[in-house]
Every structure is written in structure tokens, then in C-alpha cells.
Amino acid sequence: MFGLGVPEVVLIVFIVVLVFGTSRIPELGRGLGEGIKNFKKAIKGEEEEKK
């Protein structure tokens, strides 16, 4: 995964928890998921318009 090992991923997760706190992580995940969903929807919509 992007040349990252387990120790690097654990360090990144630890830093994210320190910066955002445990209460904000679900909100960030939800927002990221909605953003990805909207992006996929927009890409799919452009493909349907071309047809």
C-alpha cells in the first residue's frame, strides 16, 4: 500500500488521532465517504452524458 509498512500506518493513525481527536474521526470518515460517493456519481454522470 503505497510502500508503507505497518509501523508507518500506525504512526499516521496515531498522528491523526492526536490532531483531530477521537470524537471528530467518525465525522471525518463520513465526510470523506460522502465526497468519494459524490465524485463517483459525477464521473458516472459524465459517462452517461457522452453516450
Instruction: Quick: pLDDT tens for 2-47.
Output: 788 999 989 998 998 898 888 888 898 899 999 999 999 988 886 6
Domain-embedded: residue 13: no
Number of domains present in the structure of the chain = 1
If we measure between CA atoms, which residue out of 12, 51, 30, 37 comes closest to residue 2? 12
Tell me the whole-structure pTM to 2 decimals.
0.55
Residue 14's pLDDT is 92
Domain-embedded: residue 2: no
Check whether 1 has a pLDDT greater than 60: no
Residue 48's pLDDT is 66
Domain-embedded: residue 34: yes
Residue 11's pLDDT is 93
If we measure between CA atoms, which residue out of 35, 39, 15 comes closest to residue 27? 35
| Other Cβ atoms closer than 10 A to 31 | 10
Domain-embedded: residue 10: no
Residue 21's pLDDT is 86
Domain-embedded: residue 4: no
